[in-house]
Amino acid sequence: MKIICTRQNLIQGVSTSQRAVSTKNPLPILSGILLTATNNQLELKGTDLEMGIQCIIPCTVQEEGSIVLPAKYLGEIVRRLPDTPIQIETQEGVNVVIRYGQSEITINGFSAEEFPGFPNPQGKNSIIIAEEDLKEHLRQILFATSPDENRPVFTGVLLEAAEGTIKLVATDTHRLALKEINASSELQETNVIIPGKTLNELARVIGAADKNVTISIGDNQIIFGMEDTLFISRLIDGQFPNYRQVVPQGYKTRIRLKTKELLEAVERASLLARVGTQIIRLSIEEEKIIITANTEVGRIHEEVAVYLQGDTMQIAFNALYLIDALRAIGSDDIYLDLSGPLSPGILRPVEGDDYLSLVLPVRTI
C-alpha cells in the first residue's frame, strides 16, 4: 500500500473510524484501524465487534493494499502532523512509514488478514432523515438510556416504526423519553433496539446541514449511511418494556412554565441536595411552584411562576433526573403534568406533541 493524502482528510477518517475502537478490548487486532487503498480512495474501518465504522477519504493511490495500524497512536500522530501532503507506505513486514516534509514516522502494525470480517451491510427497510434532525432527536432521547450493561435492553433505544411514524424510546426504569417522527410511507413495520453506545457515537459525527442519514434495518443489524461514512451495529436482543403502559393518560395537575426558570432553580437546589440523595420537593400552588431541599449543608426555597390547571400538588423528584429531562426538552415553554405524588411526572413541550419525557417521583415520608 502506498498513498498520498491531505492531513485534514486523514484526521477526519481516522478520528471517525476510531470511534468504533474500544480501548478495553483484549484482542490486540481490535485496537487497530484497517486501512485499505483502492480506486484512489482510502477506506478506514474500526470495530469492537458490536459496532463497526467505515470511512472513505479521497487520496492518491500509488500502490493498492491494506494494513492495520494501532488506532490510538495513529489518531494522536495524524492530529499532530504538519499541514503538508502525507505519504503512507507499507514496508517489509507489517510496518508502515508515514512521510511528511523531511520527516517520517514508522509504526508497527498488524496484517490486514487478521482483521475480523466486517458485517456485510444489508437491510431492506430504509428510512432517510436529515442529519441535523436525527442529531436533535438523539439528544432528546439518549440521556434516558441506562449505562448498566447487565440489563442490555435498557442501554438501548427502541425504534418502532408503524403506520408512517417512527417512535424512538429510551428508559432506564427511572425516567423515559419518547420522540415521534413522521416517516415516509414505504416503511415496513419494525421494532428493534439499537445500542445506546452506537447512537452516542453517531450523534457525535452527524449534524451537517443539508445532509441525510439513510437508516437501513436488517435482521440483527442496523446501518446508518452518511456521505462517506457507514455505521454498522448489531441490534440488542430482548423485549423492550411496554412504554404505553407507563405513560399515564390524562393528568390531575398541569402546570405551564418557562423551562429555563425551572432548570436554573432545580440546578441550584441540586447543589444543596447533593450531599444527601438529590431529593428535591416540589409544591405546586396556584401561581407558582415552590422547590425546596433540606440537607446538612443548608436549605433552599425557590419559587418559579407557573400557570396551573387542575389541583395543587406536592411531589418529590431526584434533582438530577429532572435536570436531564429539562435540558433535553429543547423548548422554551413546557407543561409538567402530574397525576399524584406517586405517579410519574410528564414533561412536554408546549409547542408540538411529538415528544415527552417521564420522571418517576421519589417516595418521601
Binding site residues, a copy of itself, CB under 8 A: 70, 73, 76-77, 80-82, 95, 101-108, 264-265, 267-268, 271-272, 288, 296-303
- Chain centre distance of CA 130: 16
Q: How far apart are CA 166 and CA 213, in angstroms?
A: 15
Q: How far is the CB of 301 from a copy of itself (least distance, A)?
A: 5
Q: How many CB atoms lie within 10 A of CB 351?
A: 10
Phi, psi of 10 (to 5 degrees): -65, -45
Question: Which residue shows C-alpha cell 496484517?
Answer: 111
Between 15 and 155, whose beta carbon lies closer to a copy of itself?
15
Between 93 and 147, whose beta carbon lies closer to a copy of itself?
93
- Chain centre distance of CA 273: 28
Q: How far is the CB of 94 from a copy of itself (least distance, A)?
A: 11
CA-to-CA separations, 32 to 51, 91, 132, 205, 334, in angstroms, rounded: 14, 17, 30, 20, 46
Between 35 and 192, whose beta carbon lies closer to a copy of itself?
35
The answer to whether 333 and 256 are in contact (CB under 8 A) is yes
Between 80 and 204, whose beta carbon lies closer to a copy of itself?
80
Q: How far is the CB of 46 from a copy of itself (least distance, A)?
A: 18
Q: How far is the CB of 103 from a copy of itself (least distance, A)?
A: 4
Between 265 and 328, whose beta carbon lies closer to a copy of itself?
265
Q: How far is the CB of 261 from a copy of itself (least distance, A)?
A: 9
Q: How far apart are CA 194 and CA 157, in angstroms?
A: 5
Q: How far is the CB of 277 from a copy of itself (least distance, A)?
A: 17
Q: Which helix (H) or strand (E) holds 269?
A: helix 259-273
The answer to whether 279 and 266 are in contact (CB under 8 A) is no
Between 107 and 153, whose beta carbon lies closer to a copy of itself?
107
